[in-house]
Amino acid sequence: MTAHASSVVGISETEGSRYPDSRMTLLQSAARKAFPRVARGCRRLVAAAAHRLRFHLWMVARGIKDWWLLPPGRLDPFDLAMHFDQHYTLSKARQLGPIFKVWWRGGHTTCIVGHARIRRMLLAKEDALRGSTIDLRPLFPIGHVRAMHGETHRRYRRLLVQALQASRLEAHEVAIREWIRVGLNEVICDRVSPVITREELRSSLRMITGGIMLRLLFGVTPESSSYAELVEHYRRFGPEAPAWTIRHSQIAAFADIRRIILRLAEDIRIHPESRSPPSALSHLVAAGDMDETALGNLIYMFEGSHFDIYSLWTWVLQHLAANPEVMTRFRAETDALHSRRAGEAIVLETLRLEQSEAINRDVSCDIFFDGYLIPRNTVVRACLWEGHKDPRIFDDPFAFNPGRFLGRVWSIDEFAPFGLDKHRCIAADFVIAISAMFVEIVLREFQLAIVSVGPPRKGVYHWEPGPDLSIVLGRRVCPYRSQ
């Protein structure tokens, strides 16, 4: 055995020579631990290959004439580059054109690039496309609003939009700003080293955005007796990220969250005059619109909203730390209105560069679009990230340049970070406004510097800053505090 092989199993060459039985035992133990992972990987590859074969046989059964109508591209279950290369679909679009097929997440996926083209398809083929999202029906009737269609979708979307609008941001702004400020100060308080790792950053931002969304959605503040309970149960529901599959652990955690929210709702009914601050929950209670589906979607809204916001803020901090000239330029804004617009511009540019990635739709029947067949029981991936990198629309598209969003309004066919159709994110305006507050506070009261940064990695839902990210975050002396 070489020294390298010995070190892998945690025993030196000398120790291995003196204790050959121990060496073999450790090797056998390592092999036993590795075997299940290897076996699972092999099973996944075999299943993917079998699925691909079934798909081809199905296409043959439908008629060989349809083959030539499929978009260009390979259906290769062994091609995993899409999970490791953020530019994969962009390079495919350059090679194959704006409509092409890939093997993604275990099946045939048709990728479409170009916002105008995507919007035209979504509007023209609305009846054949269903929201590709988590199935929440094990938790409450009908399920996720994104998976609804027709009048059912219009009804519940309208209820939730009205509920969010009733939780007026101006009623929360002072508290939100102070919560952000306190949370950022706690990140740097009593630290031995000023260097903050990616995981420390995400954990702190998760705490901040969780508190904000509990306030906006349910009127729950840190002083409330329900606050700690809700945080605990939501962490059980989605320990690292919003759950994609509902299991027994999620059902149990959701039941505990629902119990607390129903208790809050009953308190609102009995003492409506004492409920402060306003919230989406108090609106649903007052309007008498809180059936199980509306309540379930409101409860689940916390998961996606606070996860997306703290993921976005991690990107914001990376880009600001890596571009000190942008911080210097935007700190020069002293007028409150201009400062807010500068904050919004930084948020929008971060969305353009990073987190706005794709719209996924399940295809319920065959679609013919722009000369291609998109078969039923496959997926359409509308590529927003790639459309936001079009040099014909955005000069130097991979540069971090928030100035492009100052004094310019982009059409939806050019810039659409929250979607292109009726399923557009209902919390889009909240995300921008709250994130702009975050940016204002960071620029005015804190110093940022990049320590290390690496390539991004594919997370559960988004591409995220890589594990090598670390920054220095410190207080700065500022002439005034944001109001």
Domain ranges of the chain: 1-45, 145-475
Tell me the sheet residues that pair with 457. 464
Nearest C-alpha neighbor of 361 from the set 128, 177, 59, 64: 128
Q: Say yes or no to pLDDT of 13 above 80.
A: no
Q: Say yes or no to pLDDT of 199 above 50.
A: yes
The confidence score (pLDDT) of residue 338 equals 81
Q: Which run of H or E residues covers position 266?
A: helix 248-270
For residues 378 and 107, give the distance between their C-alpha atoms in angstroms, rounded to a whole number: 7
- For 395-437, the pLDDT digits (tens) are 999 999 999 999 888 999 999 999 888 888 888 999 999 999 9
In angstroms and rounded to an integer, the radius of gyration of the C-alpha atoms of the chain is: 25
The confidence score (pLDDT) of residue 332 equals 81
Q: Say yes or no to pLDDT of 383 above 70.
A: yes
Instruction: Identify the weakest region by mean pLDDT among 33-47, 111-125, 419-433.
Output: 33-47
Q: What is the mean pLDDT of the chain?
A: 86
The confidence score (pLDDT) of residue 43 equals 64
The confidence score (pLDDT) of residue 4 equals 34
For residues 242 and 301, give the distance between their C-alpha atoms in angstroms, rounded to a whole number: 10
Two tokens, residue 388: 């936001």
The CATH code that applies to domain 145-475 is 1.10.630.10
The confidence score (pLDDT) of residue 62 equals 54
Q: Say yes or no to pLDDT of 110 above 80.
A: yes
Q: Say yes or no to pLDDT of 6 above 50.
A: no
Nearest C-alpha neighbor of 257 from the set 282, 276, 229, 278: 229
pLDDT-derived band at 65, boundaries 50, 70, 90: low
For residues 443 and 283, give the distance between their C-alpha atoms in angstroms, rounded to a whole number: 34
For the entire predicted model, the pTM comes to 0.85
The confidence score (pLDDT) of residue 24 equals 44
pLDDT-derived band at 246, boundaries 50, 70, 90: very high
- Once rounded to an integer, what is the mean pLDDT over residues 65-80? 83
Tell me the sheet residues that pair with 449. 472
Q: Say yes or no to pLDDT of 252 above 80.
A: yes
Angle in degrees, 0-180, between the axes of helices 173-188 and 428-445, rounded to the nearest 10: 50
Phi, psi angles (nearest 5°) of residue 448? -125, 145
Share of the chain above pLDDT 70, in %: 84
- For 325-373, the pLDDT digits (tens) are 999 988 887 787 788 899 999 999 999 999 889 999 999 999 999 999 9
For residues 288 and 283, give the distance between their C-alpha atoms in angstroms, rounded to a whole number: 8
Q: Is the dihedral of CA 362, 366, 368, 372 positive or negative?
A: positive
- Once rounded to an integer, what is the mean pLDDT over residues 236-255? 94
Would you mind telling me the total number of residues written for the chain in this entry? 483
